[in-house]
Amino acid sequence: MTRLRGPDAPLRAWFAAQGWRPAPFQREVWRRYLAGESGLLQTPTGSGKTLAAFGGPLLEALAARRRASGRAPAAPVKRPARGGKDAARRLQVLWITPLRALAVDTVRALRAPIEAVGLDWTVAMRTGDASARDRRLARSGQAEVLVTTPESLSLLLSYADTAPLLASVRCVIVDEWHELLGNKRGVLLQLALARLRRLEPALRIWGVSATLGNLEQARDALLPHCPQAQVVAGVAPKRFTLDTLLPGEDERFPWAGHLGLAQLPRVLERLMAERTSLLFANTRSQAELWHRALSAVWPEAPETLALHHGSLDPKLRAAAEQGLRAGSVRCVVATSSLDLGVDFPAVDQVLQIGSPKGVSRLLQRAGRARHRPGEAGHVVCVPTHALELVEYAAARAAVAAGTIESRPPPVLSLDVLAQHCVTLALGGGFEADALYEEVRRTHAFRTLDPLAWRAVLDFIVQGGAALAHYPDFRRVVRGEDGVYRVEDRRIALRHRLSIGTIASDGAVRVKLLRGGGLGSVEESFVGRLRPHDRFQFAGRTLELVRLEDMTAYVRVAKAGSGTVPKWQGGRMSLSGMLAHEVERLFAGPRDAPELRAIGRLLDLQQRLSALPAPGRLLVEWIRARGARHLFVFPFAGRQVHEGLAALLALRWGRLHANSFSFAANDYGLVLSPAQEVELDALDVETMLSPEALIDDLRESLNLAELARRQFRDIARVAGLLPPSLPGRAPRSMRQLQASSGLLFDVLRRHDPDHMLLALAEREVFAAQLDVVHLRTTLEDCSARRLDLHPLRTFTPLSFPLWAESMRGQLSTEDWRTRVQRAAAQLERRNRG
């Protein structure tokens, strides 16, 4: 047998024993790590990324063992005495994961190669779900590898005695970096990594990411100190196939307003054809409804069908995951809670209910099937209405072209910076000038100016000018030595309880009267229920017994059905990139099965009006059902269209005094004037001008109210809304809104230049209105040829928007009945 040579020989020998061979990208990452480099690995899920990222630290430890034992490879490394002075030098690797659910799988995946190569290493986990043993190991440094989350890493930084432990870390591996990059959790991690780099300047950092449209920016955000760090390309993206459950040739398929349950027989047939399946829905409500529908027709034991979403109790989610691994569950109905890299090699197929709304999400979900290196990704798409068929064809075309969405990282999130400053003040203290230079070495705060930095310091010391007289806002004290510290134990406890940036949604725990917890629903939903009312949750029909201290005590109902909870923020917007691909396909050749399946619908759109196309802006001016409606189709995604609709309503009102209602979807928007008004192409062109955008947005929207809502989450992250202490009743969403609203009003009246007010307004423009893309959309509309069609009937494109505009005027049942009746009338009128 040939003896393997080279620094990676021990790992290659283990690979060979498993019947594997290290991929070139794995060996490249190992080589670069051993040379002292940091970098970003871009590779799809299931390609061997864990061993690529972790192999370098393993090989380094094996080399150190050989040196320490005089090349006697069997001699184990001598462990330092527990709690001794050398214990702080034991922690070697930090593995950062975005989800607590991933931590258990990660620990399991890391232990296998450690044991195989004979290292005497301990792997511990420090997350919100960690055991008491793991928490003790993390705090005392009695582990070589620590798997943790960004929030738990920040919590470690809040203890003064952890600095020596963290200074011993040689490597930080950030898994699923693409999931953290575009939000404030990523900003919090950037700040924590800057502190670790200060504790250990030679620290090596490696990120692991799925494919992104902005990989270099992702690299720079993670590694701002290494602007030329290598982006290592892993294996080529998985072969990807997409099938659609197409309607029959003579089958009536809805134009709008459905959840796809008409496809239930086809879906069940597909599920029964494979051993194990994941059925993805886009919202928690949709997942509950599909689970209930499948339960009613499920031909096997009920326990072989499971439900998994983010509002379920962790124990229920863990049971579903374990059932997938063990092969005892045949189907799990899930949301994005199972998007990430939990490893389920036994999953045979993935089904997607409705549009995935983005290419990256579709690829992530398709990769859950046959989650093994070299296996092709496959997804079966289940349309809920006709036009989603075009979105599936667009997603397939985008994947074939290699285009994927970008995730721009936030900058200057001063609420996160304020939280981090209090964490460091609690963890031994900081000097202002030194910390200013440290945070400016992050991507998120590289443009932080001295004035904004002084505002952050003033905020953590006294809350700002208007709050200076309230002791609760004096969290940090600047000592005579110039060091900022936290001295109040009550403030220390509250801060540690509130570390993190995940916004609270006013959750009410749902607990069986006799039994364990089931998860949580929003307070606004439970607040409408009375005792004995029934609702559907966690795959059960439940009866409310009582609501007490933000806990809903329930019993399982013996029969009947109930309403399904709705969660705020559940509706996804079609990505701008995929929306433009949809527009391109409308006018292109019908070379995809989905486009051929709705050929009659596309022909009808062409006959009544026109098909959208790049370079042409389709506008429909329709008199129907006793009213006028203006439909505009920029194909920029729901989020942009909502802001654009408010803007156009303002500008139209300037041209012709009137009031307007409006609605938006992913393809366009509709404005309905209250009074009769005439309209021509020049009016539309004037309304679509990109000039004076910000000023007109301020006038068209209730910006103060939008900022007030945004301020609640900002205030919580910044520490103005401390959590309830252990043993106390949790605060309700109504109480939080009242507290944040009072603070917002006080600051607007007495400190209008407060940094958090400015941040709230900036986030409204950037996050809620997406003003950058809104401006781009207006510029694009102005550059197109306007294609205005006066009509007396709705078209296949305008009808879903009209249906959306009616949603807020009718009850759910009345709305569904009216939409179905209107659709049937339109189809009869335009048949043939």
- Of the CA atoms within 13 Å of residue 203, those in its CB half-sphere come to 26
**pLDDT for the residue numbered 345:** 66
Residue 617 has pLDDT above 50, yes or no: yes
- HSE of 21 in the Cβ direction (CA atoms, 13 Å)? 2
Is residue 1's pLDDT more than 50? no
- Between 715 and 808, the more confident residue is 715
- Letter for the amino acid at 796? P
Predicted local distance difference test score (pLDDT) of residue 514: 87
pLDDT of residue 277: 93
Residue 825 pLDDT class (50, 70, 90 cuts) = low
Q: What percent of the chain has a predicted confidence (pLDDT) above 90?
A: 56
Higher pLDDT, 526 or 72: 526
Residue 506's pLDDT band, with cuts at 50, 70 and 90, is low
Place 129 in a pLDDT band, splitting at 50, 70 and 90.
low
Least confident of 266-275, 526-535, 651-660, 768-777: 526-535
Closest by CA to 794, choosing from 816, 815, 823, is: 823
pLDDT recorded at residue 257: 57
The helix (H) or strand (E) run that includes residue 353 is: strand 349-353
Q: Is the pLDDT of residue 84 over 60?
A: no
Predicted confidence at residue 265, as pLDDT, reads: 92
Is 675 a residue whose pLDDT tops 70?
yes
Q: What is the mean pLDDT of the chain?
A: 87
Of 108-122, 448-462, 518-532, 764-778, which gets the smallest average pLDDT?
518-532
User: Beta 660-664 vs 627-633: how paired, if at all?
Assistant: unpaired
Distance separating alpha carbons of residues 110 and 89, to the nearest angstrom: 20
Question: What pLDDT was estimated at residue 522?
Answer: 82
User: Alpha-carbon distance 195 to 445, whole Å?
Assistant: 14
Confidence at residue 830, expressed as pLDDT on a 0 to 100 scale: 65
Q: Provide mean pLDDT across the span 173-191.
A: 96
Encoding tokens for residue 406?
Answer: 């970008």
From the list 170, 1, 8, the residue with the least C-alpha distance to 95 is 170
* Torsion sign over Cα 94, 96, 100, 104: negative
DSSP percent split of the chain into helix, strand, coil, nearest 5? 45, 15, 40
User: How far is residue 688 CA from its own chain's centroid?
Assistant: 32
Cβ contact 707:757 at 8 Å: yes
The pLDDT of residue 76: 41
Interaxial angle between packed helices 215-222 and 184-199, expressed in degrees from 0 to 180 and rounded to the nearest 10:
50
The pLDDT value given to residue 822: 67
**Average pLDDT for 101-111:** 84
Highest mean pLDDT among 132-141, 374-383, 773-782: 773-782
The pLDDT confidence band at residue 79, using thresholds 50, 70 and 90, is very low
Residue 140 vs residue 513, higher pLDDT: 513
| Residues paired with residue 95 on neighbouring β-strands, in sequence order | 147, 173
| pLDDT at residue 354 in the model | 92
pLDDT at 364 exceeding the cut of 60? yes
Q: Give me the phi and psi of 158, to 5 degrees please.
A: -80, -5
Average pLDDT of span 163-169: 92
In this structure, of 2-16, 99-113, 626-640, the range with the lowest mean pLDDT score is 2-16
User: Would you say residue 117 has pLDDT above 80?
Assistant: yes
**pLDDT greater than 90 at residue 395:** yes
CA distance 488 to 677: 65
Map residue 624 onto helix, strand or coil.
Answer: strand
10-19, 219-228, 370-379, 662-671: segment of lowest average pLDDT: 370-379
**125-134, 403-412, 603-612: which range is least confident on average?**
125-134
Give the span between the Cα atoms of 665 and 815, in whole angstroms: 17
pLDDT at position 827 is: 64
**Both structure tokens of 610:** 């026109």
- List CB contacts of 81: < 8 A, sequence separation 6 or more: 87
For 487, other C-beta atoms within 10 Å of its C-beta total 13
Q: How far apart are CA 489 and CA 576, in angstroms?
A: 48
Position 564 pLDDT exceeds 70:
yes
The predicted-structure confidence for 85-101, as pLDDT tens digits, reads as follows 444 458 999 999 998 76
Structure tokens at 729: 């009743």
Q: Which two tokens stand for residue 531?
A: 């005792």
- Is 70 exceeded by the pLDDT of residue 342? no
pLDDT for 367 equals 76
> Is residue 68's pLDDT more than 90?
no
Question: Residue 709: what pLDDT?
Answer: 84
Pairing of strands 277-280, 349-353: parallel
In this prediction, residues 373-395 reach a mean pLDDT of 86
pLDDT in tens, 282-327: 888 899 999 999 999 999 999 999 999 888 988 898 899 889 888 8
Q: What is the arithmetic mean of pLDDT over 653-665?
A: 90
Half-sphere exposure of 615 (CA within 13 A, CB side): 1
Highest-scoring range by mean pLDDT, 326-330, 414-418, 594-598, 822-826:
414-418
Looking at residue 73, its pLDDT comes to: 46
Q: Is the pLDDT of residue 786 over 90?
A: yes
pLDDT, position 562: 77
Q: Is pLDDT of 130 > 70?
A: no
Position 75 pLDDT exceeds 60: no
Mean pLDDT of 265-271: 94
Q: Could you read off the pLDDT of 680-720 as tens digits, one per residue?
A: 999 999 999 999 999 999 888 778 888 888 998 999 999 99
642 versus 566: the higher-pLDDT residue is 642
Q: Is the pLDDT of residue 374 over 80?
A: no
How far is the C-alpha of 407 from the C-alpha of 419, rounded, in Å? 24
Contact 713, 781 (CB under 8 A): no
